[in-house]
Structure 1
């Protein structure tokens, strides 16, 4: 996987983890699954950022997301 794919996967996992943790908290359960997904998101984001030679800046994220979407469409 390219660093862009890892960045987008990590962002997707982070977005999915937030509702899972909120749902578990509102039901009175421990947010174990949400925390595990959030931990996986951080790991994937860090791995993608270290594979990029200069790392990612905030302005690089939209280009990476659109590039990955373009790769999926092709």
Structure 2
């Protein structure tokens, strides 16, 4: 698995944790699933950012998404 794929997966997991956090907050229950998702996404994000030579720039992220989606379509 490439670092681009790990970065995209981590961003998607973190983005999916946000609605879970809001739902848990609005229902006054502990956000266990969201916390686990945030931890997994955070670890994957740190791995992707530290293991890629040169790292990622903020404006590079949309191009990374497109590359990963293009690889999946092929």
Following the alignment from structure 2 to structure 1, what is the Cα–Cα distance between the partners of residues 60 and 46? 15
- Normalized against structure 2, the TM-score is what? 0.96
Residue 2 of structure 2 corresponds to: 2
1:27-66 alignment, distance < 5 Å = 27-66=27-66
| Alpha-carbon distance between aligned partners in 1 of 2:2 and 2:48, rounded to the nearest angstrom | 8
Alpha-carbon distance between aligned partners in 1 of 2:63 and 2:52, rounded to the nearest angstrom: 14
Residue 26 of structure 2 is matched in structure 1 by: 26
TM-score by length of 1: 0.96
Aligned to 1:12: 12
Q: Distance in 2 between matches of 1:42 and 1:21?
A: 15
CA RMSD of aligned residues (A): 0.6
Cα distance in structure 2, aligned partners of 1:65 and 1:51:
18
For this pair of structures, how many residues does the alignment match? 74
**Shift in Å at residue 69 of structure 1?**
0.3
CA distance in 2, matches of 1:68, 1:23: 30
